[in-house]
């Protein structure tokens, strides 16, 4: 701003022209990476696409967070529950602390009461993550008066807390870890996605596919994710 104030009209014009040219170039590049997806509801295709996205381009946690939240939202809309899913469209860079939420994703009733809390990660959910989570929940309880007793952690098997009490006879529920007054339930992210997709009817699976495409085409989504998404469709996933 100071540079513009000290510049003469010609310099201001040149700076503005250069900025506009740069923005148009970026917009053109983003548009060249955008694709159109068919109204496809094949569950095997969607499972494959989701797995490849979260494994290859997690984008700092943004990709699995959006996919998980959108699957939750799609199901709640399907059953017309009135439950609101929040957090997955904010991006993983928006921390629970700055957004005053008890976890990455929340499910809320119509009156705003938190019904379920989810933490989504492709990194170890270790002591530091547990401590950060507990601090966030404590702050949320103090500010809202709402009680949070359980958090669902959607992650890979290799990323569960080392002291988790393993679940028996299932690979879907990985186990339980209790820290102070909070119970953490761990679920394997790939199997969670399969289960979530399997409860959607075909039309809602097609809408979910479209939602992923719109998210990836959005300006704030990483170019690496855009390129990978386009490559998947160019080679038929």
Predicted confidence (pLDDT) at residue 189 exceeds the cutoff of 70: yes
- Across the range 152-174, mean pLDDT stands at 97
Report d(CA 230, CA 173) in Å as an integer: 33
Percent of the chain residues past pLDDT 90, beyond the cut: 76
Confidence tier at 105 by pLDDT (50, 70, 90): very high
CA–CA gap between residue 122 and residue 58 (Å, rounded): 7
User: What is the per-residue pLDDT for 235?
Assistant: 74
Task: Tell me: pLDDT of 28 over 70.
Answer: no
Question: Is the pLDDT assigned to residue 224 strictly greater than 90?
Answer: yes
Q: CA 154 to CA 132: how far, in whole Å?
A: 16
pLDDT of amino acid 38:
80
Residue-averaged pLDDT of the chain: 89
Q: Residue 18 is inside which H or E element, if any?
A: helix 9-33
Determine the Cα angle at 166 with ends 165 and 167, to 5°: 120
DSSP assignment of 49-77? HHHHHHHH--GGGHHHHHHHHHHHHHHHH
The pLDDT of residue 4 is 54
At residue 23, does pLDDT exceed 80? no
pLDDT above 70 (res 15): no
- pLDDT > 80? residue 30: no
Assess whether pLDDT exceeds 60 at residue 124: yes
Average of per-residue pLDDT across 41-52: 97
What pLDDT does 35 receive? 81
How confident is the model at residue 89, as a pLDDT?
Answer: 87
pLDDT at 43: 97
Of the candidates 122, 64, 129, the one whose C-alpha atom is nearest the C-alpha of residue 137 is 129
């Amino acid at each position: 701003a100071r540079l513009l104030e000290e510049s003469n009209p010609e310099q201001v014009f040149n700076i503005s022209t250069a900025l506009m040219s740069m923005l148009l170039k970026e917009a053109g590049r983003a548009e060249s990476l955008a694709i159109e997806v068919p109204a496809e509801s094949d569950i095997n295709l969607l499972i494959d696409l989701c797995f490849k996205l979260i494994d290859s381009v997690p984008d700092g946690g943004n990709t699995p967070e959006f996919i998980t939240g959108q699957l939750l939202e799609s199901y709640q809309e399907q059953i017309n529950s009135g439950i609101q899913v929040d957090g997955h469209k904010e991006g993983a860079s928006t921390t629970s602390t700055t957004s005053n939420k008890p976890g990455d994703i929340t499910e809320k009733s119509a009156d705003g009461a938190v019904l379920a809390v989810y933490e989504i990660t492709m990194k170890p959910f270790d002591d530091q993550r547990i401590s950060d989570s507990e601090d966030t929940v404590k702050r949320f309880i103090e500010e809202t008066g709402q009680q949070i007793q359980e958090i669902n952690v959607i992650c890979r098997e290799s990323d569960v807390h080392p002291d988790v009490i393993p679940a028996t006879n299932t690979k879907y529920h990985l186990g339980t870890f209790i820290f102070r007054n909070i119970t953490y339930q761990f679920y394997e992210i790939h199997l969670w996605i399969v289960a979530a997709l399997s409860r959607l009817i075909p039309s809602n699976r097609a809408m979910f596919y479209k939602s992923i495409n719109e998210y990836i085409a959005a300006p704030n989504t990483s170019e690496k994710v855009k390129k990978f998404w386009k490559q998947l469709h160019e080679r038929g996933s």
